[in-house]
Amino acid sequence: MAVPTVTIDELSNAIMDPTINATPKKVLEGILNDHMDLYYGNETPFTTGKTVLPMDTTIQDVDNAAADLGVEKKFRDIFSKISEVYKSGNLTPQSVNYGWDPKLKPVLVVVTQNKF
């Protein structure tokens, strides 16, 4: 499976969506926080490739979010990819660097810039 992506706007809108349950929202917020760390060049376990789990989440959170049918498929696909990579133990970067600090080596980058 290729690395699925969403834009920053799509991610932000989902986080603000009152119909999304707490666990998927927690995972989405972790993805956004990780993306901001990457954007600003902060070294964290995510941005340095030591983990693929979003900030402040567990594999149980990610798996529960992937199974939540109240979340759009594009987000469930991202949750499933995170779970797949985490369970494989393969932390080889799978995303192309589109401009972040080259010293950072995140495994999966699932957020892209907004499309105009």
Residue 67 placed within a domain: yes
Residue 24 placed within a domain: yes
pLDDT at 2: 81
Its pTM stands at 0.94
pLDDT digits (tens, 9 = 90+) for 4-42: 999 999 999 999 999 999 999 999 999 999 999 999 999
C-alpha to C-alpha distance for 51 and 108, rounded to whole angstroms: 10
Residue 1 placed within a domain: no
Task: Please state the domain count of the chain.
Answer: 1
* pLDDT exceeds 70 at position 116: no
Residue 88 placed within a domain: yes
Helices (H), the chain: 8-16, 22-39, 59-67, 73-88
Residue 15 placed within a domain: yes
pLDDT at 112: 87
Residue 30 placed within a domain: yes
Residue 101 placed within a domain: no
pLDDT digits (tens, 9 = 90+) for 66-100: 999 999 999 999 999 999 999 999 999 998 888 88
Domain that holds residue 53: 6-95+106-112
